[in-house]
Structures are given as C-alpha cells and as structure tokens.
Amino acid sequence: VDDILSEKRSDTILEKERLYNPETGEVYEFENGFYDEYDVDRNKYEMNNLQPLPDDDYELWIEVPLDGYRHLG
C-alpha cells in the first residue's frame, strides 16, 4: 500500500497520470488530465481501451510505465 501511495504522490508532483490496457496489462504514462479528453474521443485512437489504474492493483502500480503518447496510434 505504501508503494502505491508513493507512486501516486510522485505522479501528482510530476503532473502525470497512468493508464493501462486491460487486454495486455501494459501501463502507460500521460500528462495529468489526458484521460478526461481521451475518454470522450477514444474511438479516434488505435488503442481505445485504456483505463485508469485500479487503486489497489499493486502489480500495475509497480510497473514501469511506457510513454503513452508513443503507443496510442
């Protein structure tokens, strides 16, 4: 739990947010606020199934996030 809180704190300080692909389990990093815009127009992206990380999924939170903008398509 402390690791997740540390990661969330770090994301807040760096103004980043993490999203993941439920099909692959890959975690991606974006600028804070990206998901709100993405969610409205997700159909215009090749990777259109991204979701916020669940608060209690330790495995996802300790993944090193990939550059989301490079993988969106």
In order along its 73 residues, the chain shows pLDDT tens digits of 688 999 999 999 999 999 999 999 999 999 999 999 999 999 999 999 999 999 999 999 999 999 999 999 7
pTM here is 0.90
With residue 52 as reference, give the H or E element that holds it.
strand 51-52
Amino acid at 48: N
Domain count of the fold of the chain: 1
Q: How far apart are CA 7 and CA 2, in angstroms?
A: 9
